[in-house]
Structure 1
């Protein structure tokens, strides 16, 4: 990994973990230069990426500070499937079925709300609970927003888990529907085509730019989607 990306990742983890709270002044550039043994340009590149992601704000002559989070929340949490399945006492397994890089065509641009010609990666995969396939997934990642994803094969870690660990998002939208699976999905989930499934489509943005679109089809006889609410939340 390039040094500027490692510096960005190190700082980002401290911000997202809460170690550095909103308003915290991150180390000055000369302090980071000394810590990482690098040039000012390398440090500046890492901090500029954090500022572009909305995680920090630069104040003239004062330094760089952790930004205040936007007052937004998703109606449903974005789950980590491996953790969800493990909490049910099941053994989780992930299988990548295909990986394809391409430029977004007109249909992609309309469906995923990205610019035509944007570089994207499409990952198709399955998620298992005790060796039973429970989720068929198709995910598009916008490489213009997440260039680091181009360096990941997603053979060992599911793209959803990787994104949750590495890419902050500021907005999300969900659409849930009941469907019967097409032939390919029925084969992937090892169910008859007459069996009902839940289809979850989710799109996430970071500062107005699409990060990812995912379509997850859950076996209706095994999986359910739910949320807990309180008045005013």
Structure 2
């Protein structure tokens, strides 16, 4: 004989059923603990536990003083692939928008110079763009290009199409290398990404190559709780 489910598990199943059948799509404010408890015949403590576990699993999102909402899926970035961030954000049901903070020639900083194999201080095309999903900051993208690569880069309107989309059209990347690290934001970064300075961010450093020559270097900074990195690759037989 199968033991009955704990009451909090029944509540979780009730919430998940409404999400799966489309009754509560992403962004929906669901009934409060005080309202759902009597409707299901369980205590507020039981509802609270169910909501807490679903929030921990990324299914629900609690906003203090406002309510509990069905969480939107996070944009996903590949470990061994490159995607257009606008498409990734849209694939998670959010509207992509961006703010171009800088689009000009700029002297190469040391990190970008080392990645591109060029002298520090050399002027190169540079962009700095804040990407958003449904208005919330998702990624701060800084990109430097080897001169002559990505024709017309500095004349583009990157609020209409991303830097990635332009470089796919005009460039010819044959390889990619990237690393991921973590940092705590300084005051400027915390303001741009709308997060407290105690909240960690992940940093992707990415270099693309054409026939072995580095052509672009990007530094992509994301709040750690607003996106995920995932990938799948074939393995050689053991």
State whether TM-score is above 0.5. yes
* 1:205 and 2:200 aligned: no
Of 118, 121, 134 in structure 1, the residue corresponding to residue 138 of structure 2 is 134
Q: Which residue of 2 aligns with 1:185?
A: 189
Gaps of at least 5 residues in structure 1 are 1-73
Of 193, 200, 208 in structure 2, the residue corresponding to residue 196 of structure 1 is 200
Q: 1:230 to 1:102 in 2, by over 3 A?
A: closer
Shift of 1:148: 3.1
8 Å Cα contact 2:150/2:170 also seen in 1: no
Q: 1:137 to 1:106 in 2, by over 3 A?
A: closer
Q: TM-score, normalised by structure 1?
A: 0.61
Distance in 1, matches of 2:103 and 2:122, equals 17
Distance in 1, matches of 2:148 and 2:121, equals 10
Question: Is the radius of gyration larger for structure 1 or structure 2?
Answer: 2
What SS does the corresponding residue of 1:165 show, helix, strand or coil?
Answer: helix
Q: 1:195 to 1:149 in 2, by over 3 A?
A: same
Q: How many residues align?
A: 160
Distance in 2, matches of 1:105 and 1:90, equals 33
Distance in 1, matches of 2:130 and 2:109, equals 25
Distance in 2, matches of 1:141 and 1:153, equals 17
* 1:92 and 2:96 aligned: yes
What is the aligned-residue RMSD (CA, Å)?
Answer: 2.5
